[in-house]
A and B are shown apart, each in its own frame.
Chain A
Amino acid sequence: MAEFPYLKDQDVVEVQRGPEPGGVGGAYRAFGETLRGLKTTMARLIEGPLTIEYPEEKTPVYPRFRGRHKLHKFEDTGLEKCVGCSLCAAACPADCIRVVAAENVPGERVSAGERFAAIYEINLSRCIFCGYCEIACPFDAITMGHDYEMADYDRTNLIFTKEMLLAEPIERTPLRAEGE
């Protein structure tokens, strides 16, 4: 740890000043510092570029990265986990989730519970990716995915319907490896 430039119980602080600029000494020091600077930049040249060339190469995301939402189904029965309780919509600070619930009819069950989401829309142009919907959900039906490439030319394309959210998203984003 660096030593304090002053003593804590003394009022007078000794300010350390560099040597006076100008004169022969100043020119000599400027020359030396210039060479030091040249050495520094040359070292950067030898290290090589650190650029991640984005469209071809992507920054890996962390496992808890909050990207585009995903809706989930039970793997064994294929039923939707969402029961249309609208807790996510209530938790959403940006008010971008719209849920319209309907009763499950015996014989053509959609979800595991009594009711299911007939309409489930997320307006991604308003979403702030806070992840409160994921926390609010009692059935882990909605989670935040890793996809962050959602740019579009049209705002209406950014309203994701239930089918789009349920569909297995194309995994375009690499996940960061353990310890990376």
Chain B
Amino acid sequence: MLPLADTQFVEATWIMVVKSLVIFAVIFGILPLMTVLERKLIGRFQHRYGPNRVGPFGLLQPLADVGKLISKEAFRPANAIGTLFILGPLLPVLSGVLALAIIPWGDVQGGVGFYGIDVPIGILYFFAVGSIAFYGLLLGGWASGSKYSLLGAMRGAAQLISYEVAMGLALLGVIMMGGSLSLVDIVHAQGALWYVVPQFVGFLIFMLAGFAETNRTPFDMPEADAELVQGFMTEYGGMRFGSFLLVEYMEILVVSGVAAAMFLGGWMGPGPSFLDPIWMLAKMLGLVLVFIWVRATLPRLRYDQLMSLGWKVLLPLATLNVLVTAVLVVTT
């Protein structure tokens, strides 16, 4: 029986509300800056500057982008299915915001836990909520009434089943070593040694699956702007398209947050304890940089290549990792 998170820990309702608002405000302040960061870094990777016209260093570029997207017509194809078409971009936003809740930003300090909520089932919640995002993708792609969207959605479904198992197994090693499902407890268990060292294989598999989870290169088959003209997003315009983009960055942050908490020691770092959220954010942004770096480097894999990578390489490797970890945990 795994010890669960402390379910007896209670906070006042107003503290919960304030916490949620702060997390929400900070993340939604970071998201637009991430888009600029990505475009500027991709530019640098290709000997260019990237956006540098709007505002100082191009920092106001997302404002201009959002202004443009909002002013666009909310177009809907004639043979689209109305309600599902509108639901398409909403579900991923919902899942992204829900998943943010379990990212631990710090320990309990002065009666306030520096996290949205410490769910007893912890990482399972991340999987449960994260998978909802794919419903948005599938519904949106199918309800668009366009062959490109449908192809993108089908690819998304095939991609989901290829990496999700390996992703879960990759985290299983950490859960066994930490002896808990709660992210807060797992971070506590990394006081002596970050799990990226003993669970390096698990970290690699989780990051690879994370690229697939967030539909990023080299696994951006559902989007595939070259062959499927943005796949499931083809028929979306205006802010609906914008929210799909927003969600992509939010998912990157969530995956980076989970990876930072599970493998990189979460909020742990030198300095006084009020710096903990800063450390967590720094580790997350470090992983975001890896996402951008990989996007600048790797071409898109073929559809069947991802399937064979997921089933033939990642899954056996993750299983082996779990077995070895289990033996080591039991014997030592």
Contacts and interface: CB of A to CB of B under 8 A. Distances in A.
Interface residues of A, number: 16
B77 interface: no
Interface in B5-61: 41, 43-49
Given A22-B308, A34-B298, A49 B44 contact: yes
B293 interface: yes
B297 interface: yes
B189 interface: no
Contacts of B45: 41-42, 44-45
A51 B53 CA distance: 14
B128 interface: no
Given A22-B308, A34-B298, A50 B293 contact: no
Interface in A1-29: 22, 27
A38 B43 contact: no
B297 A45 contact: no
B228 interface: no
B313 interface: yes
Determine the main DSSP class of B at the interface with A: helix
Given A27-B313, A38-B297, A40-B297, A45 B44 contact: yes
Interface of A is mostly: helix
Given A34-B298, A37-B298, A51 B293 contact: no
B89 to A, nearest CB: 31
B158 interface: no
Nearest to B47: A50
B294 interface: yes
Contact of B293 (A38, A47, A48): A38
B79 to A, nearest CB: 41
B211 to A, nearest CB: 11
A53 interface: yes
Contacts of B297: 34, 37-38, 40-41
B308 A51 contact: no
Interface string B307-319: 0100011000000
A48 B296 CA distance: 15
Given A22-B308, A27-B313, A51 B294 contact: no
B44 A48 contact: yes
A49 B293 contact: no
B48 A49 contact: yes
Given A38-B294, A42-B293, A51 B313 contact: no
A54 to B, nearest CB: 12
Given A37-B297, A50-B48, 6 more contacts: A40-B297, A45-B44, A48-B44, A49-B48, A50-B47, A53-B49
